[in-house]
Amino acid sequence: MFHLVRYSIIWKVKNFNIFFWPFIFPIILGTLFYIAFGNVKEADFETIPAAVVEETKDSRVFLEFLEELQKNGTIQVERMEAREAEQALKEQKIEGILYAADTPYLKVNKNGLSQSVLQSILESYFDGKKTIENVMKNSPEKLGTALERMADHQNMVRQVSLGGSTTDGNASYFYALVATACLYGCFIGQGSARWLQANLSPLAARQCASSMNRTAMILTELLSSFLLHFLNVAVLLAYLRWVLGLDFQGRLPEMLLVILTGCVMGVSLGILVLSIGKWQEKIKIGIMLGITMTAGFLAGLMFAQMKYIVDQYAPVINRFNPAALIADAFYCINVYDDPSRYARDLLTLSVMSAAMLAVSVLVVRRVRYDSI
């Protein structure tokens, strides 16, 4: 059986679509992310002028956070009224407006390094707030330790990159990237499903006509797909951690367990989508792309703050969003120590994967052909 697994892996590697999207594309995307904002330490920042508009009286924590950053010389914040701040932004006297609201937000009128720094500051505030809330909820006795570790949090923008011990708000993009890469295993699962159903390709028809046991055929495809995609994402993780030097400095065995569970989830998704229904294969590929990109978006791949917005207003969505669960498990390892939440994320992913695999195997095993 193991020689069949080896041949199956070789066949998948030689298939461009199966090899490119789960392996090459995430590495390219991670490199582009790094070029865009991952190596912030290489910039020599000047003090960035900004305005803060107090929309609610209950914004003391956010204002104190900005005051601490101002002491480091990273930004120069001036309190203004909304109309005054809008005029200053229009005249380019300031680089952006930070609104101290129930959920703080940023307004800019152009894109650039200064605006990226302001966005990073805002995201670092959300990261710190979320961390403290989770510690208070799950392990209040560890609050003192968490506060000590976050004592240098305001130094994040000051000559500190993702490779340092301080957590960068941009790390959420890379956690979501790894999560989306895991889900791209659906393309490998798609290849496995095509190989198992005689009506999808001539090669599959020949295999189904052979004397090979149906169960052994299915197990071979599952094992080869899981192993290949795990190696794909493990290489991506190694590239992000040791080549780009990003914030993946947590316990390696736990991170490998996360990507293993995520890879099983991605492959299972691809097998399920291609196995059920009688739609054309192009439509099923579109469904897979829609699911993976939507899941990645809600996990913060395109907009880091999106994950926090979903967690605040519709938390049930990310409780079952596989990309958000994978990204959250990385947070549990690299940002705050929360074993119970980490275990819950992996358990949810495992149950979802098992359900998808069970349905897929039942569908594939029950298919019979009158003539091949």
The pLDDT tens digits for 258-290 are: 999 999 999 999 999 988 877 888 898 899 999
How confident is the model over 34-50, as a mean pLDDT? Answer: 67
Split at pLDDT 50, 70, 90, the class of 162 is very low
Beta-carbon count within 10 A of 290 CB: 10
Given this model, what pLDDT does residue 125 score? 83
Give the pLDDT band of residue 201 (cuts 50, 70, 90): low
Residues whose CB is less than 8 angstroms from the CB of residue 291 and which lie 6 or more positions away in sequence, other chains included: 183, 186, 269, 273
From residue 332, give the alpha-carbon distance in Å to each of 136, 341, 345: 14, 7, 10
* Overall average pLDDT of the 239-257 stretch: 88
Cα separations (Å) of 156 from 96, 246, 285? 19, 13, 40
Which pTM value belongs to this model?
Answer: 0.68
Among candidate residues 149, 134, 39, 40, the one with its CA nearest the CA of residue 328: 134
C-beta of residue 180 within 8 angstroms of C-beta of residue 351 = no
Asked whether the beta carbons of 100 and 56 are under 8 A apart, the reply is yes
What pLDDT sits at residue 197? Answer: 65
Task: Give the range among 66-70, 209-213, 217-221, 298-302 with minimum mean pLDDT.
Answer: 209-213
Percent of residues, the chain, with pLDDT higher than 90: 40
- 353 or 195: whose pLDDT is higher? 353
pLDDT of residue 330: 92
User: What is the rounded average pLDDT of the residues 349-363?
Assistant: 91
Residue 156's pLDDT band, with cuts at 50, 70 and 90, is: very low
Instruction: Give me the chain's average pLDDT, please.
Output: 81
Q: What's the pLDDT score for residue 262?
A: 97
Retrieve residue 33's tokens: 């992310």
Q: Percentage of the chain surpassing pLDDT 70?
A: 80
What band does 303 get if pLDDT is binned at 50, 70 and 90? confident
Contacts of 292 (CB under 8 A, 6+ apart): 180, 183, 184, 186, 266, 269, 323
> What average pLDDT does the segment 106-129 reach?
82
Range name among 21-25, 242-246, 309-313, 332-336 with the lowest pLDDT average = 332-336
> What's the pLDDT score for residue 151?
52
The pLDDT of 8-32, averaged and rounded, is: 86
Judged by average pLDDT, the poorest of 124-128, 136-140, 199-203, 273-277 is 199-203
- Cα separation of 218 and 255, whole Å? 28
